[in-house]
Amino acid sequence: MRLSAYPIPNLKELPAEAEVVSHQLMLRAGLIRRLSAGLYTWLPMGLRVLRKVERIIREEMDRAGALEVLMPTIQPAELWQESGRWDQFGPELLRLKDRHERGFVYGPTHEEVITDIARRELKSYRQLPVNFYQIQLKFRDEIRPRFGVMRAREFIMKDAYSFHLDDASLEAGYRAMYDAYTRIFSRMGLKFRAVLADPGAIGGTGSQEFHVLAASGEDAIAFSDGDDYAANIEKAEALPPPGPRPAPSSARATVPTPHVRTIAELAALLQVPAARCVKTLIVDGADGGLVALVIRGDHELNAVKAQGLEAVASPLRMAAPERIARELGAQIGFLGPLGLPCPVIADHSALALADFVCGANEPDAHLTGVNWGRDLPEPAAADLRNVVDGDPSPTGRGHLSIARGIEVGHVFKLGRKYSEALDATVLDEQGKSVAMLMGCYGIGVTRVVAAAIEQNHDERGIIWPEPLAPFDVVLVPINFQKSARVREASERLYAEFTAAGLEVLLDDRDARPGVKFADAELYGIPHRVVIGERGLDAGRLEYRHRRATDSEEFALADAIAFLQSRRAR
Ligand code: ATP
Ligand code: MG
């Protein structure tokens, strides 16, 4: 492509909503433009990257034996009523009506449609196993669309659905997708980890997420240094501290703590570590009452673990302050587990404390020297907190450390949820009708592009992993307009590189070299070749890799061999 014929300018004025670097760089480099909240147009340079992501995914899905299909984005409401998700899905589901007043949804996912295909087309165990996939638009009316295409409302997903007769076959199909995902993200040149995930509202029996590691990731993931345990922090188990709780050694006392709002302020005022204080959080109970959750002052509540408890409402809801005041006679900031007229559940590490500090359930006061069993009944115990750096691994081997990741893929054993709801059965070997087992496997195709940038950039711009770059090489002629020799050499290289299978961007604009260099770096093209009169005199050209800090020279005559050698690196 010739930049002189490329009409999209770099964006200089970034909108305030572009908070993360990938969003900023995708706008600046003209990969995308915003149409409306969470809706983006992919411009030519961005679409080239998107197509590369799709191609790698397609090749590996095909290699794994999956069959490509294309399902409509618009789906009849009846199918969603049949699966029960018409009522379960909240406002993320975009509902529409056609001219006949018939209900439809814009698909946020395609389990219903594929299960409808399966129940019509698959009749015998002999047709199993099978895996259908597509690369298709989805719409989810996200409550907070943000970070550009990373959390958009309309986005492209690769979604695959497998159908099986028995568990062993589902296990093998799941494993095949796990392996395909590993190849996909490796081929893209991304640093990633597969982690255990919370199966969440979809239910099912097992699930793993693939995360691109990046400091800006929305998710925290915990790894063990002792083995290959890795889990989303939502799911990572915190082991109870070893050994018995120390015996009480101080008397309980009430201390005035006016104006204290946070654990940090409390710890500073009383000169105790936050780890010796406890926080009491009041949440809605499953039975409509209130439940008190107690965790150590230096820990964070894990919502997924908390809402997984039988006594707690799911999804987790913090109780309203007025209700806490009315029913517990206490005020947020001064809550404690003593004398509460509601069930109390304590995290294992809060339960391991002796002589701890907590709110007094009266204004402007806390208690010190509090002891479980002595000052209040032993509460129920549970794992309620996020794991932290240095926690022992739940496998018993090694310790955990926390990193951040961007979820780009998800593999999931669905079981029979949809096949039972939609009556998708086959005849087994005995001629008996059985509901098929299913797996589902997603990749956020558009999100991958942003995640690749989050992981690979510097202050000057994008640094594409070579397999995703919109162009392999950028040619930067100096004085293209004035020097016939430079023009001629540039055109020749452009033709030769292209013929050798390289994707070439020729910066033939009438612009200063500094502008061209800056744009080449912003665009993140891996290889840059500078063509100037002086170099041509010596038969040599200047080369630099996007990641390198220095240029090197090569002989014009060996241009293709040289470039290929640099690509192979
Ligand atoms: P998240 O927790 O990020 O909302 P999810 O669990 O809702 O993701 P899935 O339903 O498993 O996501 O969808 C499969 C993949 O689609 C995700 O792994 C993610 O990469 C991508 N994805 C999900 N929601 C969005 C979105 N709003 N914008 C872009 N990509 C998305
Ligand atoms: Mg989501």
486-531, pLDDT tens digit by residue?
Answer: 999 999 999 999 999 999 999 999 999 999 999 999 999 999 999 9
Q: With a cut of 50, list the residues of the chain below it in pLDDT.
A: none
Whole-number pLDDT of residue 261? 86
Whole-number pLDDT of residue 190? 98
Whole-number pLDDT of residue 201? 53
Choose one of 23, 42, 407 to mutate for the ligand 1 pocket test, by most ligand atoms within 8 angstroms of C-beta: 407
Distance between CA atoms of residues 281 and 522, nearest Å: 47
Ligand nearest to the CA of 138: 1
Ligand nearest to the CA of 219: 1
Helix (H) or strand (E) holding 493: helix 484-499
- Give distance in angstroms: CA of 408 to centre of ligand 1: 7
Nearest to 279 by CA among 299, 260, 253, 265: 299
Distance between CA atoms of residues 312 and 8, nearest Å: 53
- Give distance in angstroms: CA of 444 to centre of ligand 1: 6
Residues 6+ apart with CB under 8 A from 498: 504
- Give distance in angstroms: CA of 219 to centre of ligand 2: 12
What residue has token string 């204080």? 277
Choose one of 157, 188, 406 to mutate for the ligand 1 pocket test, by most ligand atoms within 8 angstroms of C-beta: 157
Q: Whose CA is nearest to atom 25 of ligand 1?
A: 151
What b/e string do you get for 89-105 counting C-beta neighbours within 10 Å, with b at 16 or more? beeebbeeeeeeeeebb
- Give distance in angstroms: CA of 542 to centre of ligand 1: 43
What residue has token string 């050499």? 489
For residue 442, give the ligand 1 atom closest to its CA.
14
Q: Whose CA is nearest to atom 3 of ligand 1?
A: 407
- Give distance in angstroms: CA of 554 to centre of ligand 2: 49
The 10s digit of each residue's pLDDT in 145-184 is 999 999 999 999 999 999 999 999 999 999 999 999 999 9
- Give distance in angstroms: CA of 113 to centre of ligand 2: 19
pTM to 2 decimal places: 0.91
Nearest to 411 by CA among 131, 207, 231, 201: 207
Phi, psi (5° rounding) for residue 94?
A: -85, 115
Whole-number pLDDT of residue 16? 87
Nearest to 387 by CA among 199, 208, 240, 218: 240
For residue 209, give the ligand 1 atom closest to its CA.
18
Whole-number pLDDT of residue 568? 62
Taking CB atoms and a 6 Å cutoff, what residues make up the pocket around ligand 1? 109, 140, 142, 151-152, 155, 157, 407-410, 442, 444, 446-447
What residue has token string 């594409």? 464
Distance between CA atoms of residues 535 and 541, nearest Å: 5
State whether the Cα torsion 119-120-122-124 is positive or negative.
positive
Helix (H) or strand (E) holding 474: strand 473-477
- Give distance in angstroms: CA of 530 to centre of ligand 2: 45
Burial tier of 185 (Cβ tally within 10 Å: 0-12, 13-18, 19+): buried
Q: What value, to the nearest 5°, has the Cα angle with vertex 248 and ends 247 and 250?
A: 150
- Give distance in angstroms: CA of 301 to centre of ligand 1: 23
Length of the chain: 569
Nearest to 36 by CA among 142, 177, 128, 120: 142
Ligand nearest to the CA of 108: 1
Whole-number pLDDT of residue 567? 86
- Give distance in angstroms: CA of 423 to centre of ligand 1: 27
- Give distance in angstroms: CA of 311 to centre of ligand 2: 25
Choose one of 410, 411, 448, 449 to mutate for the ligand 1 pocket test, by most ligand atoms within 8 angstroms of C-beta: 410
Ligand nearest to the CA of 136: 1
For residue 409, give the ligand 1 atom closest to its CA.
18
What residue has token string 């290959």? 228
Neighbours of 350 (CB within 10 A): 27
